[in-house]
Amino acid sequence: MIRVHARSFAAILLRWYDAHHRDLPWRRTRDPYQIWVSEIMLQQTRAQTVIPYYERFLDRFPTAAALARASEAEVLACWSGLGYYSRARRLRDAARLIDGTFPRDFDAIRRLPGVGDYTAAAIASIAFDLPHAVLDGNVMRVIARVTKDSADIGAAATRARFRQIAQQWLDPRRPGAFNEALMELGATICLPRAPQCRVCPLAANCAAHRAGCAERLPVKLRRKTPEKIAAVVVVARRRGRILLWQRPAVSRRLAGFWELPSPEHLPSPTSLRTIGTFRHTITHHHYAFTVCTADVVRARKPLQWLPIADLATIAPSTTARKALRIAGISA
């Protein structure tokens, strides 16, 4: 990094944040429970996507005690569509451990199910003003560019070094605001592609900008080649009911969620009719779904005829929701 005193660096960043940060609902509170919910939801999910889920979740479960009392099915139904459902299960598990009083120190927060170093640092700094720096993808990108560090950010040694740098930069007087400022800069200005260096408050202190290589940093591990998968799901209705099956509790993915059947699951489908298509991506798997309707006379286990009205209280998977929407059914 171009030499600048850490306190001056923090002051520049905080002035920018105070003037330009986005008005997001979780930034209007110091309640550790609400901040915790937002941080769990924001893991691998964009802020604008999270907002309606966050607001709906807090309406349904306004406190950790309310969340602890809820069944897994209720929590999954409220979370449905947000993806990465293990987050919801761990959130509920942690709420049951909290016992009404949210932990107030980093180590205790870190011990909660589903909470790693980043999430613990975010909650500790934002809710309790504790001096713990966060390190997420946005922060690593800012650090890599400001310091012109070309090491692979997937390497453990690089992450450890970046964590030390973030801690050195942290303003202990406003640790929560500083962490949010650094994340905000990465999310809105120091973008992965086409970074907005001309309006960046740190441009004068950024070694990669001075060298003209900001867009080439950070260096990342090569991603897996995307795998393309074609799939078919069937929307079968009969007398106000719809045919679904539930993933067992031991499933590696989406345990407890309800799915639409595929044609091979049906014992006696007749007249399959295509009504639409949609795409869905999970990590490096790219799915192309075809949605069909069919007349089904009988259903065998694990298929079940459930009232369409029950879709509001169970947890259909995201792909089931997309397919049902194409069929004109709200889930």
Residue 331 CA to residue 315 CA, distance in Å, equals 9
CB 61 within 8 A of CB 33: no
What letter represents residue 104's amino acid?
R
227 noted as active-site residue:
no
Given 39, 180, 184, 259, the catalytic residue: 39
Q: What is the DSSP string of 173-241?
A: TSHHHHHHHHHHHHHHTS-SSS--GGG-TTGGG-HHHHHT-GGG-SB-PPPPPPEEEEEEEEE-EETTE
What 3-state class would DSSP assign to 283? coil
What letter represents residue 274's amino acid?
T
CB 311 within 8 A of CB 331: yes
Q: Where are the alpha helices (DSSP H) in 3-136?
A: 6-20, 32-41, 47-60, 64-69, 72-79, 86-98, 106-110, 117-128
Token pair for 124: 């500790």
Residue 209 CA to residue 287 CA, distance in Å, equals 38
Token pair for 232: 């078919």
CB 33 within 8 A of CB 63: yes
Q: Where are the alpha helices (DSSP H) in 260-327?
A: 318-326
CB 234 within 8 A of CB 269: yes
CB 225 within 8 A of CB 284: yes
**Active-site residue set:** 39
